[in-house]
Amino acid sequence: MNLERGRTLSWANELYQVYENNCDKEDEKIVLLPIYHSTANAQIEVTISEDGMFISAIRLEDKNDSVTIIPVTEDSGSRGSGIAPHPFADKLVYLAGDYRKYTSGKRSDNENYYKAYMEQLELWRDSGFSHPAVNAVWCYLKQGTLMEDLIRSHCLILDEAGEKLKEKEKILGIAQEDAFVRFRIQYADFMAESRTWKDTSLYRSFEKYVEETAEGKQLCYATGKVVPCTYKHPSKIRNARDKAKLISSNDESGFTYRGRFDSKEQALSVSYEFSQKLHNALKWLISKQGVPIGSMVFLAWTSNLQPLPEILGNPEEADNSQEDIWEDDWEKPEGNNEENEKRLISDTMPAYHSRVRKAIWGSGGKEALDFGTDASVKAMILVMDAATTGRLSMNLYEELPISEFYENVEKWRYDTVWIRFDGRQKKKELRSFTLYEIADNAYGTEQGNFIKCKPEMKNDVILRLIPCVVEGKNVPDDIVENLIHKACRPTSYQNRYNWIKVLETACGLIRKKIIEEKEKRKEKEEYEVALDETCRKRDYLYGRLLAIAEMAETSTYEKKEGRITNANRYFEAFSNKPYQTWGVIYNRLNPYLNKMGPGLRRYYENKIGEVMELFDTDEFQDNSKLKPLFLLAYHCQLNQMSGNKNANDPFTEEEK
């Protein structure tokens, strides 16, 4: 991200405050890095005595244990191909005085690397802010025997000739000659922290050393103070291998700042301390609660770091099942009415409201949730992606009052709720949709039992939907239109359950659009999920007719018979020319009606007749394309009939 003067740095200030508020807190799992420090993955651990004598060395075999906190300089923290040694732990090429003896290749002559490292370490050692560990490492490495000691300890393996490091031999996936080394100091005081990468006193020693020796003070645009500034900002933001940087102004030949400013100093000036704190806070938050979405990273946090409700997905609501569901399982209930109610409909709208409110606000509700005494507590939402290998772009940043954030998330789940089929538990329940589901179902393709969207498309859809969830913005029309288009083509899916998921998603988003339109007209009433048997709208009635025709035909099928109904076969044609297509569907329904007993046939004919009576004659004969409302009516009618124990046989034995 290229920043320039005049552009708000509110996101940076918020991250800076996160660091200030949490730098003294201890978290054993995820460490908030001290300033002027970064992380590296070590492959070798060397133990030396306090006076610099070699004791032992081991290969690190666990990647999780290899993550090491190291001091870094302004240059080494962003080093590329040049010589820029880290102040303490580093690669063999910098540490080993006998590196040339056992290696070959471009950097086998490491004299300049080794010299630069030792001179830099000596300056720290001779300053008034030295540390026993610094002296121990300097005394040991000055002997120039690191490679020999590692070979004797079987950390490095020689070739068959016993002269050079064995080619293709790796440690945790890294070539031997590129191994990173960290140090453990065996102090006379056994209570002292021997692991230098966890020694807070070593952290503080380096921090004081940097602060006292820093030069080149300028005006920091972020703090307004005249302090040492930097133009070399940290990388490794999303993960330890991430080379992309969030702040950059070093392009003197391109157009990073040219055309508006004469120099990078005019474009942006940020203190080294401020940069370190905001980047370390960002890395810490991403490690704790960032959500990777392909190459993107989604991050949401509050100024007081309290937990936030789920945005991208609803874990307590999401349907993770991907079973092959036959249409009978979805449409034909068995057993008595009470069992069907438990099996097919798990809750009602009031129950769903209560469940979502509890999930978002907590068991005590909105009134019991403590937002803190400060009324300015905010929620921040940040999405980043790598525009290029070296540049990290900020695709989205929003901040809003935390109470508004909670209310918007709650409203999103209310407005998008629909009756969902849970293939795992073979029941229906009211649930909202994760943003992953919406993206996959709107733009994905069928892949066996799954519907999957291309990663780039999924990133784009989720990025566009996030403001709808957290800010209450309207759902983009093209996403809803794509869902409608796919929902009208059931025969394009090999697995019926995949189409059912698309249909449910389309219904939920159509319902959301209807509510948006009502709000635009300042109508407050909520659009219900249940079937409205009094609705006389043409689109709604045609949707009901299609569902009744489908239920009638499937009622004659044998169990587990996976045939396509005429209603499904002509679904798309029906949506475009309902009057003409209904005549075809009804004529083809007659043979199935003739197969039924008199009671069941009369039941379906009566259902069709009830709907037909609600039509206005002119509207029934209108052959124009149906509006999306017909999908809601279709799905609601299916649910209403599949939840009725008499849908397949509406008459008792006595009545027969």
Q: What is the pLDDT of residues 550-604, one digit of tens each?
A: 999 998 887 656 688 999 999 999 999 999 999 999 999 999 999 898 899 999 9
What is the secondary structure of 301-321 as a DSSP string?
Answer: EETT------SS--TTT----
Least confident range of 108-117, 416-425, 611-620: 416-425
Q: How far is CA 110 from CA 97, 137, 182, in A?
A: 8, 18, 19
Selection from 612, 624, 632 nearest residue 581 by Cα: 624
Cβ proximity of 105 and 219 under 8 Å: no
Does residue 649 surpass a pLDDT of 80?
no
Q: Which residues pair with 301 in a beta bridge?
A: 380
Does residue 263 surpass a pLDDT of 70?
no
Helices and strands counted in the chain (H then E): 26, 19
Q: How far is the C-alpha of 583 from the C-alpha of 589, rounded, in Å?
A: 10
Q: What is the pLDDT of residues 288-344, one digit of tens each?
A: 899 988 888 999 999 888 888 888 876 455 554 444 333 344 444 344 444 444 444
Res. 349 pLDDT band, cuts 50 70 90: confident
Res. 9 pLDDT band, cuts 50 70 90: low
The more confident residue out of 204 and 251 is: 204
Q: How far is the C-alpha of 443 from the C-alpha of 62, rounded, in Å?
A: 40
Residue 653 is predicted with a pLDDT of: 42
Residue 317 is predicted with a pLDDT of: 55
Residue 442 is predicted with a pLDDT of: 96
Res. 529 pLDDT band, cuts 50 70 90: confident
Does residue 418 surpass a pLDDT of 70?
yes
Res. 171 pLDDT band, cuts 50 70 90: very high
pTM: 0.82
Q: What is the pLDDT of residues 128-146, one digit of tens each?
A: 999 999 999 999 999 999 9
Residue 650 is predicted with a pLDDT of: 47
Q: Which of 85-99, 316-330, 365-379 has the highest mean pLDDT?
A: 85-99
Q: What is the pLDDT of residues 18-53, one digit of tens each?
A: 999 888 776 657 788 999 998 899 999 999 999 999
Least confident range of 59-73, 129-143, 415-429, 471-485: 415-429
Residue 256 is predicted with a pLDDT of: 57
Does residue 383 surpass a pLDDT of 60?
yes
% of the chain residues with pLDDT over 70: 84
Task: Give the burial class of 69: count Cβ atoms within 10 A of its Cβ; 0-12 exposed, 13-18 middle, 19 or more buried.
Answer: buried
Residue 437 is predicted with a pLDDT of: 94
Question: In degrees rounded to 5, what are phi and psi of residue 560?
Answer: 70, 15
Res. 227 pLDDT band, cuts 50 70 90: confident
Q: How far is the C-alpha of 284 from the C-alpha of 280, rounded, in Å?
A: 6
Residue 360 is predicted with a pLDDT of: 80
What tokens does 97 get?
């005085």
Q: How far is the C-alpha of 168 from the C-alpha of 174, rounded, in Å?
A: 9
Residue 645 is predicted with a pLDDT of: 45
Cβ proximity of 391 and 247 under 8 Å: no
% of the chain residues with pLDDT over 90: 55
When the pLDDT of each residue in the chain is averaged and rounded to a whole number, the result is 85
